[in-house]
């Protein structure tokens, strides 16, 4: 159990770091919540590895699938970072999606949520995500 807790922490920390670096948002807890919420979105959208995310990116910027994908992540960035500029959020997401380390860590988090037997949900800090998975505290 300890290894999966450490893996979750390490991945969330890396995702939140890239969110901080790209967004300029100074609230570390909000960025952590964003990382968990984006991972939840990836898990629910069945995007559990980099290849699946890459296949969506290959659809092209004008495809409905690509727009849906980027829009969902952009919305979460808007909520957690407080940045209301839609274009800034959109381009930030595109930069994140082209960053291998960010994509590897966010998909690893999504995969952990998918295969979790309860340990990860206890590590989740976001009430929204924890409640989504039925682990209220």
Q: In the chain, what are the domain boundaries?
A: 2-132
CA distance 86 to 91: 9
Q: Write down the pTM of the prediction.
A: 0.90
Closest of 90, 85, 84, 79 to residue 126, by C-alpha: 79
Which residues in the chain come in under a pLDDT of 50? 1, 136-137
Q: What pLDDT shows up at residue 136?
A: 45
How many CA within 13 A on the CB side of residue 15?
29
For CA atoms 17, 22, 26, 32, give the dihedral sign. Answer: negative
CA distance 5 to 9: 6
Q: What pLDDT shows up at residue 126?
A: 78
DSSP 8-state secondary structure symbol assigned to residue 117? S
Q: Which ranges of the chain does DSSP label H, i.e. alpha helix?
A: 2-23, 28-44, 50-57, 64-81, 86-97, 100-115, 119-123, 127-132
Q: Give the max Cα distance, the chain.
A: 43
Q: What pLDDT shows up at residue 1?
A: 47
With contact defined as beta carbons under 8 Å apart, do 113 and 39 qualify?
yes
CA distance 47 to 113: 11
């Amino acid at each position: 159990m300890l290894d999966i807790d450490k893996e979750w922490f390490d991945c969330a920390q890396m995702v939140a770091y890239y969110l901080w670096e790209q967004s300029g948002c100074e609230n570390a807890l909000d960025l952590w919540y964003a990382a968990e919420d984006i991972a939840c979105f990836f898990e629910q959208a069945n995007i559990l590895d980099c290849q699946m995310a890459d296949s969506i990116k290959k659809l092209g910027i004008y495809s409905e699938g690509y727009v849906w994908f980027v829009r969902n992540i952009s919305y979460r960035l808007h909520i957690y970072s407080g940045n209301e500029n839609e274009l800034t959020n959109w381009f930030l997401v595109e930069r994140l999606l082209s960053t291998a380390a960010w994509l590897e860590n966010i998909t690893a988090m999504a995969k952990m949520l998918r295969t979790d037997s309860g340990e990860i949900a206890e590590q989740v800090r976001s009430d929204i995500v924890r409640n989504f998975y039925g682990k209220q505290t």
